[in-house]
Amino acid sequence: MRPITLILIALLGMSTVPAFAADNYRAGYELTLNVGEGSFQIQTQSTFSKAEPIQHDFGDYRVLMTLTETSDFRYSMSIVVRESGADSIRSDILEHTIEGSFSGIVEFSSEKGPAKIEGAIAVNRLR
């Protein structure tokens, strides 16, 4: 197994899962964002809902990850990088969509202009 796989399995298995509504998820992930001279990295887990994207601020940039279920076992996730404090789609500097299953890990990489984001994510549905 690759080291990222072991980290994500450990992150997802570390905590007890409280009872949540059907639209809640837990994600273990690693992100690396490079924009111009800046480089930012995070390894963490988040509990989130469809209504609220996962958000992380990295210096002058914000990463938003929004999940859409495409079937009982699969999802699509939009990953957007925009300037911090900007809520307009016009401020998006990079957008990438990944497809995954609730039983696997997805590795991704996307680059546009001076921005590059890469990482891996594992998502579980909390029911």
pLDDT tens-digit readout, 103-112: 899 999 999 9
Q: Quick one: 74 exposed, middle or buried, by C-beta within 10 A (0-12, 13-18, 19+)?
A: middle
| Count, residues in the chain | 127
**Residue 56 token pair:** 């992380």
pLDDT of residue 26: 95
Q: Which residues of the chain have pLDDT under 70?
A: 1-22, 86-90
Domain boundaries defined on the chain: 3-126
pTM of the model: 0.78
Tokens 């994600």, residue located: 27
Distance CA 34, CA 106 (A): 19
pLDDT at res. 94: 94
